Structure 1
């Protein structure tokens, strides 16, 4: 399908429909699309665009079910974007606080900004018929549609979690809280909490994460106390476990692989300021810019290199590492509640490809680890093929690799810790800690 350009004149709903269209028809990430659109709007409108577009991602199968019953035939060509505008209208009517009058009237008007003034009557008729026919009240017996997930992921969760599958799917559709990690090289934890108290920002402390606070409502991150001074980083509680599990000691050489945007890199530096050397590696040059920005803001001095983790000969200096963190490329199925577009950007065929890449990187990095050194394998996935089965296979094939359990229930047959979405308010994550025998 030909790209549809961003509307020349800004309009709240037209721009939001453009974001939805780019994600679903062109496979763009919500972050990339929102960045383009949000340059044109104020903070309040930007928050609305983000809430609505990501809301459509969460409810897409149901919205499409309604749309199919309301449209005589699909729209094609450069009119296809109007289907996405209608999806936005349906979402407003059923799931938002927008008044029904505004949801219909303003959505109809937005068609003109999408070069489709001639279809305003169609948009109006579809939204009015949705209300008139009370479609939202009619029962749906299709569990996949009600789940808000693509069929392949619905079944993958069913196969992996069986009796717990419904709870995993429900948590996957929830909205994730914002976690902050206090940078205690710049300010004490209690002092930062006092800043939040003085700014009347509601939060709670995490019992299991001594550097973390969880905000009770969404906030403008850059407006929080101490942002410019590097007093904190935004990092989910599950991701905050990585630096603790790695157990870096003074003077050690550490590799943080696939490091962008640098959250775990910063945490390692904060927990062990006297470490010997810390290298943040990532293959994506544009994402490394974010690592540099974050390390500058947090005031951490680390080495940052662009390089493919699967081909160390291109970037490695030949000196072995004491500790390696491999935050492996993965399906990101554990963070769908935070990035709901992922469910539509990922395909079932991606999982096998990712598993092969993960194993390739594991094999390549193992040779960079000192005898007695530790490699921490991490993903933000909830799928066994990328996690437990991946590490089980690696242990079977790698004579000098030994599992060091993170939990009391781990075995070589069922290695690692699988965190599920919503567990202790955390994202879905997987960790396995391996040591290289002498």
Structure 2
């Protein structure tokens, strides 16, 4: 591989915005990729993937390069040099990369890679917390799996298309796909491609959604004609999936505390041909009280630490703080306690997170079931999904039925 100056400099700019100015990696990369309209898919891929990889292994590379925050531009080039050397990429004769100690980098890598928290680039507190929660054997595997770049998975929009026909259409565009075991509407790309520019995406034939995330909506066991509430809808990936499973029949209510997210959901819903959905902003408790005892199904895709999706959001492990985990657990308890009141007798609820911590998952459900109102619910089933076992995002789902 030959390194091009303008592409490498774009990576350095992105790292500066992420590491020194606390920018979110996805937003930063989106911004940096607009620097030069002449960049092709390969150029853009190099910038995005290299930036993500250095963010992913920030701690390890920093230890090897012997640099720390705040990172000067020279230090960012040292991080880049570590990345290149470890991949066997010849370094060009640039001033910024001169005197790179290639042998020392390789030696330090061999030495530091024996220590998990350095090898997998995890903050001390997080490494300790996850080992205690999951056990050493599982956390060894999971910490490594969460550093593997996430694959691109599509969900067929069955309101417009079946999976077989979608696969043929994509194949005609030279987009190779393969099916995913256990996710009935999923197609995984054989090679990374920008599918958002395709006519198939623009006309709503599919959505991009990880295979683990695609398991949540079917877990709720919805049927056409029901009243279904997605109470933490966000931008609505699971809402759209619910609409498809309901065959556009019945009432689907998408709720969130952020109006901006619901506006984006409306745009996506139009593209997907969803007609049975309405959005409601949760401005206060009244929005929830109006639906007390009226929903056949309620989805609580609760806010969480996001530890199950580090493959696609690697910068979040550097932003996450122990205090946040404690705070979000309180939010989860409140949501479960208050929002579950929307479920009518005989109705069902799914509590889900994209976390791998039992304290956000099984322990939250147990806490709820032991509460006064939670005693009217029965746990039907629950599932913990780990990246090291599934190859997809870490997730948790629990299905509860209101019996009282």
- Report the alpha carbon displacement of residue 92 of structure 1 after superposing the two structures with TM: 2.5
In the other structure, the counterpart of 1:83 is 75
Picking from 139, 142, 162, the partner of 2:111 is 139
Q: Report the Cα distance in structure 1 between the residues aligned to 2:101 and 2:364, rounded to whole angstroms.
A: 50
Picking from 79, 86, 89, the partner of 1:94 is 86
In the other structure, the counterpart of 1:36 is 31
Q: Is the 8 A contact 1:237 1:426 kept in 2?
A: yes
The alignment status of 1:290 with 2:285, answered yes or no, reads: no
Please state whether the residue corresponding to 2:202 is helix, strand or coil.
coil
Deviation per residue, 1:166-219 (Å, 9 max, x gap): 111111111221111111111122111111232332221123122111111211
Please state whether the residue corresponding to 1:359 is helix, strand or coil.
helix
**What is the root-mean-square deviation in Å for CA atoms of aligned residues?**
2.3
- Report the alpha carbon displacement of residue 226 of structure 1 after superposing the two structures with TM: 0.9
Q: Report the Cα distance in structure 2 between the residues aligned to 1:255 and 1:307, rounded to whole angstroms.
A: 12
The runs of 5 or more residues in structure 2 that have no matched partner are none
The alignment status of 1:12 with 2:7, answered yes or no, reads: yes
Q: Report the Cα distance in structure 1 between the residues aligned to 2:323 and 2:9, rounded to whole angstroms.
A: 33
CA distance 1:31–1:132, shift in 2 (3 Å): closer
In the other structure, the counterpart of 1:399 is 375
Deviation per residue, 1:316-368 (Å, 9 max, x gap): 64462111101100011001112211211212221111100111111110222
Work out the number of aligned pairs and report it: 391
- Report the alpha carbon displacement of residue 280 of structure 1 after superposing the two structures with TM: 1.4
Q: Report the Cα distance in structure 1 between the residues aligned to 2:85 and 2:204, rounded to whole angstroms.
A: 41
Please state whether the residue corresponding to 1:226 is helix, strand or coil.
helix
Q: Report the Cα distance in structure 2 between the residues aligned to 1:250 and 1:152, rounded to whole angstroms.
A: 46
Q: Is the 8 A contact 1:147 1:154 kept in 2?
A: no
Please state whether the residue corresponding to 2:200 is helix, strand or coil.
coil
Q: Is the 8 A contact 2:20 2:69 kept in 1?
A: no
Q: Report the Cα distance in structure 2 between the residues aligned to 1:98 and 1:188, rounded to whole angstroms.
A: 43
Q: Report the Cα distance in structure 2 between the residues aligned to 1:86 and 1:293, rounded to whole angstroms.
A: 43
CA distance 1:404–1:75, shift in 2 (3 Å): closer
Q: Report the Cα distance in structure 2 between the residues aligned to 1:237 and 1:360, rounded to whole angstroms.
A: 28
CA distance 1:51–1:372, shift in 2 (3 Å): same
Report which stretch shifted further, 251-260 or 38-47: 38-47
Q: Is the 8 A contact 1:322 1:370 kept in 2?
A: yes
Q: Report the Cα distance in structure 2 between the residues aligned to 1:315 and 1:190, rounded to whole angstroms.
A: 40
In the other structure, the counterpart of 2:122 is 149
Q: Report the Cα distance in structure 2 between the residues aligned to 1:380 and 1:391, rounded to whole angstroms.
A: 15
- Report the alpha carbon displacement of residue 382 of structure 1 after superposing the two structures with TM: 0.3
The runs of 5 or more residues in structure 1 that have no matched partner are 1-9, 109-119, 406-415
Equivalent positions of 1:26-425 (< 5 A) are 26-41=21-36, 42-44=39-41, 45-68=43-66, 80-95=72-87, 98-101=89-92, 105=94, 108=95, 120=96, 124-125=98-99, 128-130=100-102, 134-136=106-108, 138-140=110-112, 141-162=114-135, 163-224=137-198, 226-301=200-275, 302-307=277-282, 311-314=284-287, 317-318=290-291, 320-397=294-371, 398-405=374-381, 416-425=382-391
CA distance 1:284–1:25, shift in 2 (3 Å): farther
The alignment status of 1:431 with 2:397, answered yes or no, reads: yes
In the other structure, the counterpart of 1:112 is none
Q: Report the Cα distance in structure 2 between the residues aligned to 1:90 and 1:208, rounded to whole angstroms.
A: 39
Q: Is the 8 A contact 1:382 1:418 kept in 2?
A: yes
TM-score when scaled to structure 1?
0.83
